[in-house]
Structure 1
Amino acid sequence: MGRAAELMQVFGSPVSRKAGAWHARRQAGLRALALVVLLHAWLAQAQQRVFQFLRQEQGLENLSVVALLQDRPGNLWIGTENGLYSFDGARVRRYGRGQGLVEPRISALHLDQSGRLWVASDTRLFVREEDEFVEVRDGGEPISAQPGQALSSTRGRLVVNSRRGLYWVRREAAGWRAELLFDAETRRQHPEVRDVSSVVADPGGDVWFGCARSLCRFGTAGLHRYDPAGEALSEPLTSLLLTSDGRLWLRARTRLWRLDPGGEALQPMALPPAADVPAPWSPALVADRQQRILMQWGSGLARWDGRHWEQIAARQGLQTGGGVTALLQVRDGGVWLGTAGAGLAHWLGYEHLRHWGLAEGLPSDDVWSFLRSRAGELYIGTAGGLATEHGPLRGLQAPAPLRREVASSLAEDARGRLWVGSFNGALSRYDPITGTLTQLAKLPRITRLVTDRQGRLWIVTHDGIYLIDDPARDTPLHRIDQGLYPPKTQVPNAHDACLADDGRIWISTTTGLLRGEDGRLERLEVVDTTGQPLGEEWLRVIACGQGRLWMGGDHGLLELRIDGDSRTLRAQSLDVPLLHDRSVLSLHLDRRGWLWTGTDYGVAIWNMSRWRFIRQDAGLPWNDCNQGAVYEDRDGSMWLGTSRGAARFDDLDTLFAPPELSVHVGVQGRRLVRPDVRRGGADLTLPWQMRALVLDAASPAFEHRSALRFEYRMQGQDEDWRSGMAGELVYPSLQPGRYRFEVRVRNADLQAESPLQSLDIEVLPPWWRTDWFYALCATAAAALAWAAYRWRLHRVLARQRELRRLVAERTRQIEASHAQMRELALKDGLTGVLNRRALGDALAAEIARAGRSGKPLALVIVDADRFKQVNDRHGHLAGDAVLIAISQRLQAPTRPYDVVGRYGGEEFVLLLPDLDVDQPEGRARIDSFHRSISASAVKLDSGEELRVTCSFGVASLQPDRPESPNELIARADAALYRAKENGRNRVEYAPATPAP
Structure 2
Amino acid sequence: MRRTYLRSRSIAAAAVLCSALVAAGAARARLAVQWLGRADGLPNSQVHDLAQDRDSRLWLAGPSGLVRYDGQRFDVFLRADGLSANGLRSLAKAPDGRLWIGTDKGVDMHDRDGLFSPLVPPETWRYGVVEAMVIEPSGGAWIATPAGLLRWTPARGLEAVADPRLYGVPVTALARGDDGTVWASAAGLLSYDGAAWKECAAAALAVGDVEAIAPVAGGALIGGERGLVEVDAGGRLVHRLIDQGPVTAVLVAGDELWLGMGGELRLYRRRGDGWELAEAVARARINRLLADVEGNVWAATDDAGVAKVSVLRHAIQQADQPCPTQVYSFAATAAGELLVGGDQCSFRLRPADLSLAESYPALDGVKVWDLQEDRAGTLWAASEGGLWRRPPGGELRPLRLASPILAAPARVLLERPDGMLVGTVAGLVEVRGTEATPLTGAAGESPGYVYTLVEDGAGTVWAGTLGNGLWRLTTGGVLERVALPGLDKRGSVYSIAFGPGDMLAVSQDEHLLIWRDGELERLKPGDAVPGWSIRFDAAGNLWAGGDNGLRRFDLHGERPPLHLTASMGLAGNELTTSRSLWLDPRGRVWAGTTGGLTVVDPASLALLRPLPPVRASSIEWSQVEVRRKDGATIVPAGAWGLEVQVYVPWFADERSIVFRHRLAGFDRRWSPYGDRGEHRIQYTALPAGDFELEVQAYSPVVGESPKTNLLRFRVLPPWWLRRWAIALWALSLLGLGYAAWRHRSRVLIAHAEELARTVELKTTELRQAIADLDRLAHRDALTGLPNQRRFWEQGRRFEARARRSGVRFAMVVLDLDNFKAINDHWGHQVGDRVLKAVGKRLQQMMRLEDFVARYGGEEFVALLSAADETAVTQAAERLRRALAATPVVTREGRTIDVTASFGAALWQGPGDDLESMFKRADAALYAAKRTKNRVVIWDPSLIPSHQPPPAPGPDGDAHA
State TM-score, norm by structure 2. 0.62
CA deviation profile, 1:400-425 (whole Å, cap 9, x unmatched): xx76542100012456553210144x
Change (3 A) 1:3 1:39: closer
The letter for the 2-side match of 1:663 is V
CA deviation profile, 1:864-923 (whole Å, cap 9, x unmatched): xxxxxxxxxxxxxxxxxxxxxxxxxxxxxxxxxxxxxxxxxxxxxxxxxxxxxxxxxxxx
CA deviation profile, 1:39-90 (whole Å, cap 9, x unmatched): 974234xx55544443333321211111122323332212122111112222
Equivalences for residues 544-559 of structure 1 within 5 A: 544=498, 546=500, 549-559=504-514
Match of 1:711 among 660, 663, 678: 660
Answer yes or no: is the 8 Å Cα contact 1:739–1:760 preserved in 2: yes
1:77: which partner in 2?
A: 59
SS of the aligned residue for 1:42 comes to coil
CA distance in 2: counterparts of 1:711 and 1:722, whole angstroms: 5
CA distance in 2: counterparts of 1:254 and 1:101, whole angstroms: 36
Answer yes or no: is the 8 Å Cα contact 2:173–2:212 preserved in 1: yes
CA deviation profile, 1:737-772 (whole Å, cap 9, x unmatched): 432222111224532233323311134567666666
Could you tell me how far 1:637 is from its partner in structure 2? Answer: 4.7
1:642: which partner in 2?
A: 593
The letter for the 2-side match of 1:406 is K
SS of the aligned residue for 1:690 comes to coil
CA distance in 2: counterparts of 1:435 and 1:346, whole angstroms: 46
Match of 1:249 among 217, 221, 226: 221
Change (3 A) 1:199 1:704: closer
1:699: which partner in 2?
A: 648
1:151: which partner in 2?
A: 134
Match of 2:193 among 207, 210, 218: 218
Q: Relative to structure 2, which stretch is displaced further, 152-161 or 104-113?
A: 152-161
CA distance in 2: counterparts of 1:193 and 1:665, whole angstroms: 45
Paired residues in the alignment total: 693
The letter for the 2-side match of 1:382 is G
Answer yes or no: is the 8 Å Cα contact 2:564–2:700 preserved in 1: no
CA deviation profile, 1:956-985 (whole Å, cap 9, x unmatched): xxxxxxxxxxxxxxxxxxxxxxxxxxxxxx
Answer yes or no: is the 8 Å Cα contact 2:102–2:131 preserved in 1: no
CA distance in 1: counterparts of 2:617 and 2:221, whole angstroms: 40
2:582 aligned with 1:626: no
Answer yes or no: is the 8 Å Cα contact 1:107–1:147 preserved in 2: yes
CA distance in 1: counterparts of 2:126 and 2:461, whole angstroms: 74
Answer yes or no: is the 8 Å Cα contact 1:78–1:84 preserved in 2: yes
Q: Relative to structure 2, which stretch is displaced further, 426-435 or 126-135?
A: 426-435
The letter for the 2-side match of 1:381 is G
2:533 aligned with 1:586: yes
Answer yes or no: is the 8 Å Cα contact 1:552–1:584 preserved in 2: yes
CA deviation profile, 1:199-237 (whole Å, cap 9, x unmatched): 223445443444653452423x765666758x9434243
1:974: which partner in 2?
A: none
Higher gyration radius (CA): 1
CA distance in 1: counterparts of 2:133 and 2:300, whole angstroms: 17
Change (3 A) 1:624 1:291: same
Answer yes or no: is the 8 Å Cα contact 2:133–2:141 preserved in 1: no
Could you tell me how far 1:265 is from its partner in structure 2? Answer: 4.0
CA distance in 1: counterparts of 2:189 and 2:464, whole angstroms: 69
Could you tell me how far 1:499 is from its partner in structure 2? Answer: 5.5
1:948: which partner in 2?
A: none
SS of the aligned residue for 1:721 comes to coil
CA distance in 2: counterparts of 1:762 and 1:258, whole angstroms: 61
2:241 aligned with 1:270: yes
Match of 1:685 among 634, 640, 662: 634
The letter for the 1-side match of 2:382 is G
Answer yes or no: is the 8 Å Cα contact 2:206–2:240 preserved in 1: no
CA deviation profile, 1:568-596 (whole Å, cap 9, x unmatched): x625435256632x211112345676543
Equivalences for residues 741-890 of structure 1 within 5 A: 741-764=693-716
Answer yes or no: is the 8 Å Cα contact 1:422–1:446 preserved in 2: yes
Higher helix share: 1
The sequence identity of aligned pairs, in percent, is 21
SS of the aligned residue for 2:604 comes to helix
1:733: which partner in 2?
A: 685
The letter for the 2-side match of 1:738 is D
Change (3 A) 1:143 1:495: farther
CA distance in 2: counterparts of 1:550 and 1:345, whole angstroms: 41
1:200: which partner in 2?
A: 175
Change (3 A) 1:480 1:323: same
CA distance in 2: counterparts of 1:216 and 1:376, whole angstroms: 52
Answer yes or no: is the 8 Å Cα contact 2:57–2:70 preserved in 1: yes
CA deviation profile, 1:127-155 (whole Å, cap 9, x unmatched): 11211111112998438586654334434
Answer yes or no: is the 8 Å Cα contact 1:154–1:201 preserved in 2: no
Change (3 A) 1:416 1:486: closer
CA distance in 2: counterparts of 1:719 and 1:549, whole angstroms: 39
Answer yes or no: is the 8 Å Cα contact 2:689–2:714 preserved in 1: yes
Equivalences for residues 889-968 of structure 1 within 5 A: none
CA distance in 2: counterparts of 1:423 and 1:413, whole angstroms: 21
1:286: which partner in 2?
A: 251
Answer yes or no: is the 8 Å Cα contact 2:47–2:61 preserved in 1: yes
The letter for the 2-side match of 1:295 is L
CA distance in 2: counterparts of 1:431 and 1:122, whole angstroms: 72
Match of 1:418 among 372, 376, 379: 379
Match of 2:213 among 240, 263, 283: 240
Change (3 A) 1:311 1:584: closer
2:280 aligned with 1:328: no
CA distance in 2: counterparts of 1:305 and 1:524, whole angstroms: 54
Change (3 A) 1:701 1:301: same
2:442: which partner in 1?
A: 486
Equivalences for residues 274-423 of structure 1 within 5 A: 283-288=248-253, 291-306=255-270, 307-314=275-282, 320=283, 322-347=284-309, 349-355=312-318, 362=323, 365-371=325-331, 380-384=340-344, 386=346, 396-398=360-362, 404-413=365-374, 418-423=379-384
Answer yes or no: is the 8 Å Cα contact 1:612–1:656 preserved in 2: no
CA deviation profile, 1:270-296 (whole Å, cap 9, x unmatched): 338x56xx56xxx232234x5211121
CA distance in 1: counterparts of 2:377 and 2:605, whole angstroms: 34
CA distance in 1: counterparts of 2:188 and 2:458, whole angstroms: 67
SS of the aligned residue for 1:350 comes to helix
Could you tell me how far 1:685 is from its partner in structure 2? Answer: 3.4
2:157 aligned with 1:178: yes
Answer yes or no: is the 8 Å Cα contact 1:460–1:497 preserved in 2: yes
The letter for the 2-side match of 1:133 is F
Answer yes or no: is the 8 Å Cα contact 1:256–1:268 preserved in 2: no
CA distance in 2: counterparts of 1:496 and 1:775, whole angstroms: 81
CA distance in 2: counterparts of 1:49 and 1:646, whole angstroms: 13
Change (3 A) 1:552 1:251: same
Structure 2: runs of 5 or more not aligned:
4-20, 738-960
Change (3 A) 1:40 1:733: farther
Structure 1: runs of 5 or more not aligned:
5-36, 315-319, 470-474, 562-568, 786-996
Answer yes or no: is the 8 Å Cα contact 1:137–1:143 preserved in 2: no
CA distance in 1: counterparts of 2:252 and 2:526, whole angstroms: 34
